[in-house]
């Protein structure tokens, strides 16, 4: 089961609006569980998707290509792994790095 959540159009970073993706973001059951265990919010994940740095090599699994982005949430570095197509982003997992 997927949890469907719309992404905000903008978030505020350093008192300035930062554009977010317009695509629908879906969270896999696994992602929701890991977010709860690792104390990530949906806003944290959306921020990583919008502002994170792309990982250099996507991972191909069968027909799907999984992408990853890294960024800092507070003082910790985090990574989000996701699938993306023309209409949506599906978050697979999120984790702290290091």
Whether 3 and 91 have beta carbons less than 8 Å apart is answered as no
Task: Report how far residue 68's alpha carbon sits from residue 21's, in angstroms, rounded to the nearest whole number.
Answer: 15
pLDDT at res. 58:
75
pLDDT digits (tens, 9 = 90+) for 27-60: 999 999 999 999 999 999 999 998 899 987 777 7
User: Sorting pLDDT into bands at 50, 70 and 90, what band is 9?
Assistant: very low
**Quick check: 8 pLDDT over 90?**
no
Instruction: Record the pTM.
Output: 0.75
């Amino acid at each position: 089961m997927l949890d469907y959540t719309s992404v905000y159009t903008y978030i505020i970073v350093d008192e300035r609006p930062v554009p977010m993706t317009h695509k629908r973001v879906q969270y896999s059951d696994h992602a929701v569980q890991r977010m709860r265990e690792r104390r990530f919010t949906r806003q944290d994940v959306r921020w990583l998707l919008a502002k994170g740095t792309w990982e250099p090599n996507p991972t191909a699994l069968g027909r799907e290509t999984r992408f990853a982005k890294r960024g800092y949430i507070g003082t910790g570095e985090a990574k989000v792994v996701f699938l993306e197509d023309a209409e949506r982003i599906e978050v697979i997992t999120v984790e702290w790095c290091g």
